[in-house]
Amino acid sequence: MVREIFDVSEPIPLLGCIAFGLIDRGTNVIQIRPITTCPLSCIFCSTDAGPKSRCRRTEYIVPLDYLISWFKSVVTFKGEHGIEAHIDTVGDPITYPKIVDMVSSLSQIKGVEIISMQTHGSTLTERLLDELSEAGLTRINLSLDALDRDLARRLSGTEWYDPSRIVDLMHHIVFNTKIDLLIAPVWIHGLNDSEIPKIISLAKDLGAGKKFPPIGIQKYLIHKHGRRVRNVKPMPWKDFYAQLRLWESKLGIKLVLSPSDFGIHKRPAIPILYRRFEIIRVEVVGPGWLRGEALAVTERRDRSVTIVNAEKIPIGAKLKVRVISNKNNIFVAEPI
């Protein structure tokens, strides 16, 4: 399904919406989401990204200068030291046309000491990796969920996906760039169990993780608007960590990670300006990210707000809404 591409530019605030802009979770890490698109349609995707999305209505893109301006303001608030700029997105950040320029701009901001990026790397090239390295990318969290080609293609929901190509790129990162490599597989219990030890061994053999852990295994989770893998029930956390510890003992590599492994620590959080259940005035300024949603800004234009149950609300409408969620300054509201 062809989706609208919406340019998130001034005066739309870059705090408030989970799909774009900046997210502050009260640490020294600031999440950066410049774009929402993704070339893959992973069957376990928590954000229903890619060409096969059933829930998405719109894809967003944020102009680079506008994004950097907001980022600088957040850094100033949180303290201009020890900041990690983490580019993660609800899609894949390498689809952002100015990804190299963004990394370069971030590297020049006072207080930014780490620039990291989360990607499946399906459209990465050696040239792009070289450019990202020179621009100042510190770490790349590169997802690889299976080495077996058929299984990898099934998991990615994409016939052209080639895991051997990703392994080649990993070699290039380790031996030809200044970027630290962290391999980040998603473990879907019952599907890729036998692949995870192979990926752990790959991380060891490559010499990944010079400054940070070489591998970070993620547990498959079910999210409200994400994809659910048929006939797979997420394993309990205690079982997940028990198996990680067994692999640690057998393979001799640290797998149970904590924020301290990445230098993550608490920092003052940006104030949450609107309480849950508070009634506020907003103006609809664009299409919603998902079907049935609308993108709005507060009357003071200090936060973006996602309105649900908004199928019949046109762009330009001004209305009262009730805030139903405000965690981490991500606002979801409903019309009243």
Are 69 and 184 in a shared domain?
A: yes
Same domain, 225 and 307: no
Give the CATH number, domain containing residue 199: 3.20.20.70
- pLDDT, residue 2, reads 66
The band of 142, judged by pLDDT with boundaries at 50, 70 and 90, is: very high
The answer to whether position 238 is within a domain reads yes
pLDDT for 335 equals 98
262, 292, 322: which is the final residue of a domain? 262
| 286 and 185 assigned to the same domain | no
Same domain membership, residue 212 and residue 88: yes
Residue 136 has a pLDDT of 98
- Per-residue pLDDT reduced to its tens digit, 64-93: 999 999 999 999 999 999 999 999 999 999
**Do 289 and 241 belong together in one domain?**
no
Q: What percent of the chain has pLDDT over 70?
A: 99
The residue written with tokens 């609300």 in the block is 313
- Same domain (yes/no): 325, 192: no
Q: What's the whole-number average pLDDT of the chain?
A: 97
Structural domain for 110, as ranges? 4-262
CA nearest neighbour of 116 among 73, 35, 179: 179
Same domain? For 230 and 101 the reply is yes
* String of DSSP letters for 314-325: PTT-EEEEEEEE
Residue 123: band (very low, low, confident or very high) from pLDDT cuts 50, 70, 90: very high
The answer to the question of residue 120 being in a domain is yes
Residues 226 and 148 in one domain: yes
**Domain presence at residue 270:** no
Structure confidence at residue 46 (pLDDT):
95
Identify the helix (H) or strand (E) that includes residue 173. helix 163-176
- The answer to whether position 116 is within a domain reads yes
- pLDDT over threshold 90, residue 195: yes
Please determine, for residue 157, whether its predicted confidence score (pLDDT) is greater than 80.
Answer: yes
In 3D space, the residue among 47, 38, 40, 56 whose CA is nearest the CA of residue 157 turns out to be 40
Judgement on whether residues 53 and 131 belong to the same structural domain of the protein? yes
Residues 39 and 150 in one domain: yes
CA 302, 84, 50: angle at the middle one, nearest 5?
Answer: 75
- The answer, as to whether pTM is greater than 0.85, is yes
Length of the chain: 336
205 falls within a domain = yes
Task: Please indicate, yes or no, if residue 267 is contained in any of the structural domains.
Answer: no
pLDDT score recorded for residue 259: 97
Per residue in 168-185, pLDDT (tens digit) is 999 999 999 999 999 999
Q: Is residue 105 part of a domain?
A: yes
pLDDT tier at 167, thresholds 50, 70, 90? very high
Q: Are 265 and 81 in contact (CB under 8 A)?
A: no
* Domain tally, the chain: 2
Give the pLDDT score at 198. Answer: 98
Percent of the chain at pLDDT exceeding 90: 99
Question: With 90 as the cut, is the pLDDT of residue 1 above it?
Answer: no
**Per DSSP, what are the bridge partners of residue 7?**
61
Same domain for 287 and 323? yes
From 220, 235, 262, give the residue that closes a domain.
262
Which pLDDT tens digit goes with each residue over 254-297? 999 999 999 999 999 999 999 999 999 999 999 999 999 999 99
What CATH number is given to the structural domain containing 296?
2.40.50.140
Q: Clarify whether residues 139 and 203 are in a common domain.
A: yes
At residue 162, the 3 state secondary structure works out as coil
- Domain termination residue (choose one: 262, 287, 306): 262
Cis peptide before 11 (omega within 30 of 0): yes
Q: Does any domain span residue 269?
A: no
